[in-house]
Homo-oligomer: A and B are copies of this chain.
């Protein structure tokens, strides 16, 4: 077992975690049990590697609690953060179609995962569309998010930051600000830039009275300006 990993429970925890996940909320009890028999619940500490790019892929994962980072390593360059997975989302679905993971994943916090056997899941999908459809919906969503990422990377840094802040405020259900829940270093990577540039950009937005920024607390002083910047 990987360092920092701990086996939590058997059926009860697993079934509860799966049932709590929106994409599996419509399964029958029988289906849930069949799925649970392929699943192990795993507890991991922060900054633990779940798997690495090119590792053999025989399972995919569902986040029950916590947050993980998906990134790709290139030679001669810092790892590129591709995305995150939060509770209810999956990662490593490439295991369903290839035998190698295509990216690396590590936890950002203490995280509980469901590890779902890929071969078994393929079998389930063949027999019961109820397993294939939610997967499809999930991948459509991910595809859409990646598309947004591509679009975003063609924009200048201030626009990317503005989009991130607006998204974060929506997600945190706060009308006029947001909290930065990741370290600035992480945020910079997520935005495809470096900490120095992030720092300066925050500073410029503050100087322009578009936001105010106190540690990890960002308040929107001029939301329209922020939206204009985001080119939404």
Chain A positions within 8 Å of B, measured between CB atoms, are: 72, 74-77, 80, 82, 93-94, 96-97, 102-103, 125-129, 132-133, 135-137, 139-144, 146-147, 149-151, 153-155, 192, 231-232
Copies of this protein, total? 2
Pick the residue among B126, B136, B146 that contacts A96 (CB under 8 A): B136
Are A140 and B140 within 8 A (Cβ)? no
Cα(A123)–Cα(B209), bound, Å:
52
Residue of B nearest to A156 (CB): B77
Are A133 and B143 within 8 A (Cβ)? no
Residues of B within 8 A of A153 (CB): 150, 153-154, 192
Known contacts: A137-B97, A143-B142, A147-B82. The answer to whether A154 contacts B102 by CB under 8 A is no
Most buried by B among A96, A103, A142, A154: A154
Pick the residue among B125, B146, B192 that contacts A129 (CB under 8 A): B125
Are B136 and A146 within 8 A (Cβ)? no
CB distance from A8 to the nearest CB of B (A): 29
Residue of B nearest to A140 (CB): B97
CB distance from A209 to the nearest CB of B (A): 22
Are A74 and B151 within 8 A (Cβ)? yes
Are A72 and B147 within 8 A (Cβ)? yes
Residues of B within 8 A of A151 (CB): 72, 74, 80, 82
Cα(A158)–Cα(B137), bound, Å:
36
Residue of B nearest to A139 (CB): B139
Jot down 27 A-B pairs with beta carbons below 8 A, ordered by A: A72-B147, A72-B151, A75-B231, A77-B154, A77-B155, A80-B150, A80-B154, A93-B143, A96-B136, A96-B140, A97-B137, A125-B129, A125-B132, A125-B133, A129-B132, A132-B136, A135-B136, A136-B136, A136-B139, A139-B143, A143-B146, A146-B146, A146-B150, A149-B150, A150-B153, A153-B153, A153-B154
Residue of B nearest to A146 (CB): B146
Cα(A143)–Cα(B147), bound, Å:
9
Residues of B within 8 A of A125 (CB): 129, 132-133, 136
Pick the residue among B77, B140, B147 that contacts A146 (CB under 8 A): B147
